[in-house]
Amino acid sequence: MKNAIRISCNRSNLKVVRDFVSTYLAAYSLSDLHLNQIVLAVDEVVANLIIHANGEDESQHLNLHLSVKDHVFGIEIEDDSKSSYAPSSYREPDLQEHIRTGKKGGVGMTLVNRIMDRVEFTTSGSRNVCRLYKKIS
Q: Give the model confidence (pLDDT) of 42-86 as tens digits.
A: 999 999 999 988 999 999 999 999 999 999 999 999 998 876 555
Q: Is pLDDT above 80 for 106?
A: no
Q: Following DSSP, what letter does each residue of 67-108 receive, concatenated?
A: EEETTEEEEEEEE---SS--GGG-----HHHHHHHT--SS-H
Q: How far apart are CA 48 and CA 77, in angstroms?
A: 11
pLDDT band at 110 (very low <50, low <70, confident <90, very high): confident
Handedness of CA 47, 62, 78, 55 (dihedral sign): negative
Burial of 62 (0-12, 13-18, 19+ CB in 10 A): buried
Q: How far apart are CA 19 and CA 15, in angstroms?
A: 6
Sequence-ordered list of residues with C-beta below 8 angstroms from that of 63, at least 6 positions apart, any chain? 4, 5, 6, 76, 77, 78, 79
Q: How far apart are CA 108 and CA 50, in angstroms?
A: 14
Domain covering 4-135 in this structure, CATH number? 3.30.565.10
